[in-house]
Amino acid sequence: MFEMRKLLSILLFLAVSPGLWAQEPELAQDQTQVQKKNTLTLDLDLLTRGEIRAGGLTYGDDEKPDFAAFVLERTLLGIGYERSFLSARLTAQHSGTWGNNQNSYFSLFEAWIQLSSKKGFFLKVGRQDISYDDQRIFGSDDWAMTARSHDALKIGYEGFGHKIHLIGAYNQNLENIAGGTYYKGGLQPYKSMAALWYHYDIPKTDLGLSFLFMDAGMQGGEQDKEDEKVWHQQLVGAYLAYTPEKWSAEAAYYHQFGKEEHGLPLNAFMASAKFTCTPEKHWTITAGYDYLSGDKDFATPASGAIGLTRHEVIRGFSSLYGSHHKFYGAMDFFYLTTYVGGFTPGLQNAYAGLKWTFMDKHSVQAAYHFLATGTKLRNAEMPLGHELEISASFQLFKDCKLGFGYSFMKGTETMTLLKKTADRRQLHWGWLMLTVSPRIFTAKW
């Protein structure tokens, strides 16, 4: 908690420092000439997606592939305000499944205010989207039915090719005067979070480099018990992007250390590389590789058995608050669902894709993924399966888009052992999605 209080003190000091927010003398003398008009906007984002799935996870002793069909909806209604040196936004969010009136979800996705300085400094406070680089660690996860946001204070500077952001957050269930500060089950899993992000675009080159450091305090134990404690884990890493005219290359490396929420030491990492080439205006070729570390001595028990392995160090990497659907295959099968025993053997994802764009606004693409565990298993091979994906996107008009996709995966015997899937080891998933995002109202005065 000392580190968290220290960072918040620094952020608050910067926030109230008059030198950062003072206007230029000439601005104060003739503010009416440079003052931006007041702008008020009202916009809507309506996402409707139907999904159908066959094969995959089983339940209990039922070895028949499961089948599911449903329609999901997510609605964002946002109000924005902007004038010189001040902007604010309020966005309400609702999501649910067609026909269900009990488990629908309503919340505030955004509620923030930002103060800006002519010198390049800014302060943003409130509920906000935090997204950096390729969104692997911090991302909005727009595919999800509940868009991700954080209650945070952000102070930063942007100018001359440099961007530096300081972020601080402290979560609590209630404004307790008495009864402790136990925190569980809120907007984000962390109790406290502090992050530093720095990005630099190297002049006269197409090279950009980012560094990220984060500390997350995770609530452990049970309330009012001896094991109630906050454990801190850290992440440090870098992201590199080289983007000349017809091709680009990206690389990233992140390392996690400290202790996870049960107090076990954490030592995990991930590395990725991606290459994109556009040999001709309408064609894009993509290839890449992801590696996520996993727990060692991972046992794969036979069906109906329980495998118990004592882990003294957690080596399974977590992408934390990133946009998970962008990576590791569109089915999200090996990342968002748990493995037998609760631990993870890591993941390798080698992929290649081809995209065709026509009429400058419609596209069709196909991709292939080969997936395998990141660590060797005691009694099984490492390969998990092959995934094929086909998707298309059609821009019907300026603020209306229609998309659909189909994915097929052929799993291995290892997938059956790790995920308790059906014997056929075949997964089918298809979706059809309509996104409408109109600007309803704009007023300036």
Give strand pairing partners of 271: 253, 291
Q: What is the pLDDT of residue 117?
A: 94
pLDDT tens readout for residues 243-291: 998 999 999 999 999 998 888 899 999 999 999 999 998 999 999 999 9
Spatial distance between the Cα atoms of 33 and 115, rounded to a whole number of angstroms: 20
Quick check: 186 and 213 in contact, CB under 8 A? no
Interacting residues of 321 by C-beta distance below 8 A, sequence separation 6+: 130, 137, 138, 139, 148, 150, 188
* DSSP class per residue in 397-408: ETTEEEEEEEEE
pLDDT tens readout for residues 123-156: 999 999 999 999 999 998 888 888 789 999 999 9
- pLDDT < 70: residue spans in the chain: 1-35, 56-66, 179, 297-310, 335-342, 419-424
The Cα diameter of the chain in Å comes to 78
Q: What is the pLDDT of residue 342?
A: 61
Q: What is the pLDDT of residue 29?
A: 41
Tokens of 84: 């010189």
**In 292-307, which positions are buried (b, 16+ CB within 10 angstroms) versus exposed (e)?**
bbbbeebbbeeeeeee
Closest listed residue to residue 313, CA positions, set 268, 275, 274:
268
CATH code for 2-19+48-175+184-444? 2.40.160.100
- DSSP character at residue 184: -
Spatial distance between the Cα atoms of 293 and 40, rounded to a whole number of angstroms: 47
Helix (H, G, I), strand (E, B) or coil at 196: strand
Q: What is the pLDDT of residue 377?
A: 84
Spatial distance between the Cα atoms of 210 and 322, rounded to a whole number of angstroms: 16
Domain boundaries, the chain: 2-19+48-175+184-444
Q: What is the pLDDT of residue 403?
A: 97
Q: What is the pLDDT of residue 26?
A: 41
**Residue 25 CB coordination number (10 Å):** 7
Q: What is the pLDDT of residue 306?
A: 41
Quick check: 431 and 402 in contact, CB under 8 A? no
